Structure 1
Amino acid sequence: MTRRAILHIGRHKTGTTGLQLFLESRGAELEKAGFCYPRSGRDLSPGQSREDQCAHHGLARSLMGPRDIVRQRLMALRPAFLDEVRNAHTVILSSEGFQNVAHLDLLAEFLDGFEIETICYLREYLAYVTSSYAQEIKGSGLATDFTFFEERFGLGLPGFMMIWGQVARRCKWRLYDRARLIEGNVIADFVATAGLPLQPPQNASESNLTISGNLLGFKLLLNMLGLHMREFGAPMNDLAMAHARFRGPIHVDLPTQQRMRGGNSCNRTLRDLFGEVPEVDFEAGNRIFDLTSLERDMQTILPKFAEFDRVASHPLIAALARGQIGVFDHVR
């Protein structure tokens, strides 16, 4: 019997975290049906969040670097992996980090004996870039403006699809559009596309909200001041969940939208695959550093960060806490 390896390879900001949490939570059900969502290849070290531990980011990171070192890492990992999946007819591996690996042939060697299939969710270009920008500001110390970020985004979708087509026997490309996803969410869509014996949740919630508005501006300010900490994720998610003005699309003016969409082949490729692709008008999005609501928003945001001494004690943040909003003129 041919054994399958289903690789969920992203892309970023397509509901990946929620899907990975779901698959990790249903491991026992999968095992009973001959499937395996293995622990091998997942970074289970204590310093990792549950969201990071439930994905195969460790395996994806092992594929980065010089070729000889990558091969050594995979050889070291393979015995434990094979032992864990020995009774499974289908193995499921999920990490959006797979989209960035350079040595796909070594990944194929690691999965020798398995028929590789990929499932990947693709987004409309500007929706993808804006969400990725907000995620980078939120999850890292990135401190740059959106235009600079987009110029260096480097999405070459045709090349990406071509290299995966050389590794996988079957590539399933899905458009991340709720109107086209099965039951309107990525978990139900993945379960059906992969043929998993699972009942998806009735109300799938977003596990990694896209932040925007003055919350995104505040985190960008923290990054500019060198104050990024991974622990900021929880208070940002809480704020975005509680206040609509802190989540969702960011503002991009219409001429910039047209220039960015016209300068990349992504949407043309998507139309070839899926037909009409909806394009959101981002002029209605939340502005970063919106001075009309900044004072009110700081009163909401700052208490959530008061427990972080490095933030609360910084002179600029302290000035904002005192209502001295004029200091923002220096960072616009």
Structure 2
Amino acid sequence: MASKVNLKRVILHIGRHKSGTSSIQHCLNRNVDLLSAAGILYPKHGRGGRVAHHDIAKALNPKLQQIQINPTQIAEKILVERQKEEHTIIISSEAFQNICDLVNVKEFLKALGPENITIICYFREHLDYAIAAYRQFIHAQTIYQPFGAYLSGKFESQKNLIENWKNYGDMKLKWFDHQSLENNDVVVDFLKTANLNIKLPSLRVNPSIGGDLLFLKLLHNYQGNELLDYNQLSSISTIAPEWSRPFQVDDCTASKIRSRSEYNSSVADAIGREPYLKSFAEYELPPSRDIDHQLLSYLEANHNFSLDKQLKQQILLGAFNNLMDCQALSIT
């Protein structure tokens, strides 16, 4: 049965993907008791034992419904968790960004019955977002796709997403870059943006693979083979900075990529500020000349992993240097 004390606020954190969501969610999950003591509930329902409310977001998405769901019942299960009559509820999932028809979201929020609703969404700058998402895409599966093909049809105007969601609460939009984040820390910034007067220990999670590690995973995807599992790759990426770095896109090509999309302009119009445009020209386009002596040697020594001698020789001779096909991106 729901608490008799009125619910003051619901804070919906809807993403976006690769914009600090995992860091925020892990921090909230690790500090549920501290949050509760401050009158803030981060519900267990809808998280399936994990850190984010992906199950709620998927259940409220009409396109993903296999059976009819009742948004009111989801809300009631969350309200039951208000054992300390918390005044604020935080719900977080980047899967909310995939909902185009918000009819179930509307019913869900109405059933929660808060006095105020805050919707928070972070946006990574277009090319920075595309590169981060591509690295995650290669990391998480065995599909091969060059970067140019991956870009096609993605990262377009965000106007519809913003227009849809702003009708359901006080929408706070932020750029996810070092010039925008409070103390250059997305957790600190999230708490400030949400107007929550509480301090939580920050942490960085969900590292992306990069450099030679990204190249090796891409090569195995290209050949239809497994490299190592997701968690192993994540762990390895933290060992050396060069194994988690972005890849090179020269400034001219970067400008052309950005000019082909209305992503940045649509978000800038809503936020009222242009994004910081990071240069990726300083990075290396893998594989590096040291891949054999660094990454391959490390994998052989620590993961009982070795490449076929002929394949290794092909790598060292540059046979796979164009797997990402970044040069093709400059062709208009």
Q: Same fold (TM over 0.5)?
A: yes
Gaps of 5+ in 1: 45-52, 307-311
Alignment pair present for 1:326 and 2:314: yes
* Structure 1 pair 323–300 and aligned structure 2 pair: CA distance change class (3 A): farther
Q: Distance in 2 between matches of 1:243 and 1:175?
A: 28
- The reply on whether 1:254 has 2:251 as its aligned counterpart is yes
The separation in 2 between residues aligned to 1:256 and 1:70, in whole angstroms, is 46
Q: Cα distance, 1:145 vs. partner?
A: 0.7
The normalised TM-score by structure 1 is 0.83
Instruction: State percent identity of aligned pairs.
Output: 27
The CA deviation at 1:318 is 3.7
1:24 CA drift (Å):
0.9
Residues 158 and 269, structure 1, Cα contact 8 Å, conserved in 2 = yes
Distance 1:106 1:64, change over 3 A: closer
Q: Is the 8 A contact 1:117 1:169 kept in 2?
A: yes
Shift of 1:163: 1.1
SS at match of 1:119: strand
Is there any run of 5+ residues in structure 2 with no aligned partner, and where? Answer: 1-5, 324-332
> CA shift at 1:259, angstroms?
1.4
Q: What is the CA–CA distance in structure 2 between the aligned matches of 1:42 and 1:267, rounded to whole Å?
A: 31
Q: Partners in 2 of 1:70 and 1:128 — Cα distance?
A: 34
Please show how residues 1-332 of structure 1 align to structure 2 within 5 Å. 1=6, 3-44=8-49, 53-66=50-63, 69=66, 71-72=68-69, 74=71, 77-85=74-82, 87-112=85-110, 113-114=113-114, 115-166=116-167, 168-201=168-201, 204-228=202-226, 232-272=229-269, 273-290=271-288, 292-296=289-293, 297-306=295-304, 318-319=307-308, 324-326=312-314, 329=319, 332=323
Asked whether the 8 Å contact 2:61–2:99 carries over to 1, the reply is yes
CA distance in 2, matches of 1:302, 1:11: 37
Q: Cα distance 1:68–1:214, how it changes in 2: closer, same or farther (>3 A)? A: closer
CA distance in 1, matches of 2:301, 2:102: 46
Q: Deviations over 1:188-246 (max 9, x none)?
A: 01111112242132xx34211222111001112233344458x7233223322221111
Q: Residues of 2 paired with 1:228 and 1:56: CA distance?
A: 30
Give the TM-score normalised by the residue count of structure 2: 0.83
CA RMSD of aligned residues (A): 2.6
Code of the residue aligned with 1:192 in structure 2: it is K
Which structure shows the higher helix fraction? Answer: 1
The one-letter amino acid of 1:22's match is C
Q: Distance in 1 between matches of 2:67 and 2:187?
A: 31
Q: Which amino acid aligns with 2:147?
A: F
Deviation string for 1:51-90 (max 9, x for gaps)? xx11111112223454764651645534322211362221
For the Cα contact (< 8 Å) 1:7–1:117, is it kept in 2? yes
1:154 CA drift (Å) = 4.0
